[in-house]
Chain A
């Protein structure tokens, strides 16, 4: 019954598409768009026709495009960010397959930037979407000279850093677990290395990143706040290429090349830090001999079977190890694998089938003479995904798809030594099946109005085996029911409507609107301010309901001086349901009844995001300013009044500038400022058996000191030789040594037992770094 209803809804949604199919002599031009030098497929390249502004299409995630237009002669124009525009004369009398190779604007980066940005037109992209290529982030200065996509997107409006030494980032008032971070479609649960100093995405292996802050297309789902869709490079299918970098703290290498020239290629990228090389030099015996490093490996291969089929295999594996000698330690890592099969059914219908594996696990060990305990936890996903893109005609494109994810979470397992004070525990595994059906219609209603609308129907089945509890108000177990393996305990179905419209006001400005609903079924529990790797992942259950967010956004986009400058201003309003918090004193670790310690509430947020970007010339860069507010309401907190969420930052500014001094030197600088996060400070203190303990009146009633920081960078390009290129990257993080808050402790004054004090800890003063990059 439910199914029949869903299909009726889908049919009604797709009806306009069917009606708009017209009967004139039309032919299809389709094919793949690639980089001519490396064979990388190019997604989001624009295919247009001079004199026919309505005939325009973007290549999809696999570089495939298809457009159906009337018989005639055309000048077809293909353009892509960072590449020389290509114009091809076409006499269209029959269906055509045009596989196109594009060539980079060969030369210095500055020139690339000049030529590139003309291609992407912000007036036409949907609201809330931003695409960054590696070229865009290349010169932005970062910590330890490691360019990093996840760090760079935090300089964009509406995306906020969680602060120094904290992993994760906040998008439009969402918490950090509400971002869906995908690497070649596989979910990456913990995207940070070294407690947030690096992201797990090695920039050598990454092709591009697309960020959705709102107006999520219906093919994405599962998180409330944002999607970061990161794609790995396919690998050079023309020749073997090696590149890498040697830095003070880490080194990396990338090898790519053809498997079969022009038909298949591979890429292998690896990176390792060696910060622990320094620990041997330290005299402190606690630190000497400690292990402290991370590494990651990216691997990808693809093979074009025939003109209709192409397969891809990609994988990521990374691990962090932080072990103090003879003491506590943690290690954690992500592993993902994606197998994809692209199939072109016919010139209009493209299909992709993906089989995805994703795993995140962590181990914590506590070692002290005799009390040795090793705690581990993990989450594993098996994911099957099917997408169809149907290019009906230039005005209509239809996407339909389905996916099923089988989640297995192992909340905790502790193994203790014989003499330990702790028992061995194995918490029961939790199983859930998350599935979705979606349909979306991209409709160019007129030359000026473009509407993408669709629906995603998501379903979550909580399944056995396992004991399922209900709790009374005091958190005591009321009932306990055992469900056998595969038995459905509870089903949640949520229709998620999505719509995004853009209306071009004139040649240089457009108005965009979007509304979307998202649901989330994997929840992260964390009762510590540091996003530690030992957080607990909890799937939706009989107690925990799916989180739901509704977001409405309006934006104005403007280009100035023939697109040399872009300006955008967006306003959003968001409401959230079934947000999760904890009762005071909740035990999240090693607790089979962790759900009894949870409380649920609502959230809301709004914001105004402004962005001005200079895209051409010797000086490029952007200024972003966001005004935002985000609040929570939970009955048991602050007497049920709305209070600012921890990630609430009122003002947020980022200024990024890159200057091409000459052929050799490129300089860059970035400055960020944000209002301090909302925190809870005590108002007074009282005695507990003579120890001063602090009295708190309300949650998040105070603000951390404001955060600001200037980073500087410089790149020196070595002489270009036929077979070898090199460059030096110099950077200074926190150039004016601002002491930004990492933690604020209220504590006894160590020098005066009769006093208490407030101590602020900052992590970085000035961090200089040098990296040598090479390519051959």
Chain B
């Protein structure tokens, strides 16, 4: 007999306890979207498990009933990766926030998936360590979410992404079994495949993270330029000199204006671009390289350079950058945060093309980017009260991604594909590419119940000959309605 959603909710309540299962529409509404709020879907059931065994039990029930499920950490994702299914279960890890082990001799810690990113750093800081991935949402995002999205952050230029800082994950497979994937174990690097799979290969229940030694010193400067081009010249000079900064960030005039209006960060007036360069590491190393970076910034035409004398001054420099996304709300009623990547050297051309696109369409675009690795975050501004404005903004936003692809880049550097960009995947990858990636999914989740409808525009029919697909996924249509 087919299991209905109400019957499943009853079974889950018996397994997890009544207080761990939500079916009340008012309470369900809390979970209808993640950080990408223009996609919404009310889940049929939300569960709040407290252990790996409970997650495994939920997955087994879903598998037996043929009901789809989606995992959610803190819900800060920006691509709708944790968008629920109206016909499914949302598994929320917010009650799994224990740091299970801190192993200083081996420079690692073991945490539950709901642990907040910054809480790992807070816990290990007394030992002189931190957890390196630092997405902007690190005060609220979960480590489980970081694993799903392979999160980066401003400092991934030097330190890499979550994949470089996770040594093992205990996961619940779509069969409902608990398995540990560890970097050092013999066999395929399934851990490597799992990280960044956006919750489509299983749910992580325990994560062993690598801890990074707190650098002895950090030096930060802010350089102001007349134009983005001049700032870009400085970036090229720094990279060309063989320096690997911890971070290089750039903001254009419009995003500076927004940050100024929002947090009064006090950036040099009249700047067409500001560059933030941060070096960290052993003191003698940083001292020598920082002097060179300062010189290169001046040579590229900086009209003002500020060097942070202490942590407070450094926080002030970062304040404008970190507030940039939210700040554009001050200068525009609505906006789209785009996330694309280009080869760093293509920056001037691509920015010129974005300018042209903006001029031609009349849609304003503020640019904030991780300049060191070519990760652009254009903020496409529009007035949602104006008929057609949202569509025009969406059009411009999509064309920016086309520019990224044309220049050999990527449609996402850190926000993920999720539900938002699945339709762009065929612009970057061939059918064979996507089909091959989905072989991994078919190995893990042949029934296609684990976060379906994400990452891939068309699910592969598992167990069939390569190349054969189902018709358009019903979800695609739904996503447009929301």
**Chains A and B bind each other:** no
Q: Which residues of A are in contact with B by a Cβ distance under 8 Å?
A: none
